[in-house]
Amino acid sequence: MILFILVTIATALPAVRGDDAFNPIPVVPYPQFAKMLSTDRIGINSARFRISPPDELKHDDIMVSAAIRYNNYFSRFQGRSHEDGIDTVKITVHDPTAEQEISGTNESYSLMITPPSTVVTLNAATRVGVLRGLETLYQLYNVTDGKFPAVNIEDSPRFAFRGLMIDTSRHFLDLELIFKVIEAMSMNKLNILHWHIVDDPSFPYESYSFPDLAAKGAYDQDHMYSQADIAKVIEYARIHGVVVLPEFDTPGHTLSWGKGAPGLLAHCPGRGTFGSDYGPIDPTVDNNYKFLERLMSEVAAVFGTGYFHLGGDEVSFYCWAGNPNITDYMKKHNITDHTALESYYEEKLLNIVEGLGQSYIVWEEVFNNGLKIKPDTIIHVWKGKWQNTLSKAVKAGYRTILSSPWYLNYISFGRDWKNYYSVEPYSIDATPEELKMIQGGEACVWGEFVDNTNVLSRTFPRASAVAERLWSSKGQVDIADAEFRLDKHRCGMCARGIPAETVLTRGFCSIEYEMF
């Protein structure tokens, strides 16, 4: 009955849409500083409009492909050419050689649209900053009147780490879908693709050091990523201002590893998890550390970002407890309980990874269980009561990233993006100095109920709410304003081939998503 009334009211009201948002600067994530210069508006002179890289970056692949991409996006609006419209986007880059880093890149830019001048000015700190500025420019265009507002924007992210996690172990994602995810990340100024590439269900990463891992651990040979595939993903991401952070989660979540690496997992007939006779990696076997060193050294070379996500979550002790060899080993080495055994493992692993010159991120259990970790470890908070954990971790001097409130794989009826939007990472017990240890956060899309069919629509635009929280200023909290900007933005994604789901309960996009 209630539902019936809601539906009736909704259909009785006129259609609204984000395209007609009342905020004249309908950008997501909202810029740090944006000022309307006048009520003048200016169109595009389609015959002459061309985004070109600055001279000194004429042959730079990031700049050249960005120019092609955005020229292509704007070419959709050719039918609305204005004789006195914008013809030039003048780009300057302060530091044209800076590479994008997981630890942070200067992504700041400024953008000026000053009609009647037909030149848009985009000044950026780095090439990544140019990508951020071009995206803002695209979003400022109003498809209804075919014009831009007169604005001055000075923008830079609040947090350096703005991630999205995908899971390709529970369900495989085709390269084409991963590319689309990366494009959509770029449209939301998200900068880190956390690739949870392997886990219990399958091992799709084709290792050249250990080919059996995928040969036996992937679902089948059509569901693996070759080295060429991985290289394509890393390259596609780089061109779009995104860094790929690989996760090889151990010692738990490794059932699929065991098939291609005999002796790696603890053996415990009748005591393992998921109905298996095997458990987490056996930390008492020296050979296993040699295996890990070779695998991690390969992964470090392949991904080349200097950072690993090492997992470390949800380690079940049943299997370790069920293996008499492990019990003996513990006695011999004076290891008093299984938490201490886990610590023993993590310490060895972290030493290996550090020896490879890599920094690392771990899920919060590694910190919660009091394992010995290096001071530069980043703690990834994902469980409930995140304010407590975040507070404890920063007080202990660790850098942190937050995901607990942003598990996009949990779905519910209605506008759950508002919950993501309303999170304030600084709402914890910590001093201003300690708060600086919060590097940002990450939206996670776990793969239990997600594959090629729905990864894009389930992720976007809900991840856009997270993206705004991580980019925009702390004071950017107006839900009603965000809702219309988000709807316009999701239409902008649809127009560019991303099937981003609806935000408002009714309405339409001027350019709808086309499947073919």
Ligand X SMILES: *[C@@H]1O[C@H](CO)[C@@H](O)[C@H](O)[C@H]1NC(C)=O
Q: Which is nearer to ligand X, 207 or 343 (CB)?
A: 343
* Closest distance to ligand X from the beta carbon of 157 (Å): 10
| Closer Cβ to ligand X, 86 or 164, answer by number | 86
- Residue 148 phi, psi dihedral angles, 5° rounding: -105, 150
Comparison of 133 and 217: residue with beta carbon closer to ligand X: 133
Active site residue 342: no
Q: Is the preceding omega at residue 425 within 30 degrees of 0, hence cis?
A: no
Q: d(Cα 364, Cα 210) in Å, to the nearest integer?
A: 29
Q: Element (H or E) spanning 387, and its range?
A: helix 386-395
Distance (Å, rounded) from C-alpha 76 to C-alpha 113? 20
Among residues 343 and 404, whose Cβ is nearest to ligand X? 343
**Least distance CB 460 / ligand X (angstroms):** 20
CB of 23 to ligand X, least distance (A): 6
Min dist CB 319 to ligand X, Å, is 10
Selected catalytic residue, list 56, 99, 235, 314: 314
The rounded distance, in Å, linking the Cα atoms of 409 and 142 is 32
Interaction site with ligand X (CB under 6 A): 20-21, 24, 26, 94, 106, 108, 125, 142, 144-145, 267, 323, 325, 334
Specify the length of the chain in residues: 516
> Minimum CB separation from ligand X for residue 463, in Å?
22
* Minimum distance of ligand X from residue 346's CB (angstroms): 17
Instruction: Give the separation between CA 496 and CA 512, rounded to whole angstroms.
Output: 9
SS (H, E, C) 267-279: ECCCCCCCCCCEE
- CB of 53 or CB of 447, closer to ligand X: 53
Residue nearest to ligand X (CB): 125
Question: What's the alpha-carbon Rg for the chain, to the nearest Å?
Answer: 25
Write down the H helix ranges in 93-210: 127-140, 175-187
Q: Could you give the 3-state DSSP secondary structure of residue 166? A: strand
Q: How many CB atoms lie within 10 A of CB 104?
A: 14
Residue 136 near residue 416 (C-beta atoms within 8 A): no
Cβ neighbours of residue 1 under 8 Å, at least 6 residues apart? none
- Residue 253 Cα distances to 147, 197, 319, 351, 379, angstroms: 52, 11, 13, 21, 18
Closest to ligand X by CB, 142 or 377: 142
Residues belonging to the active site:
314
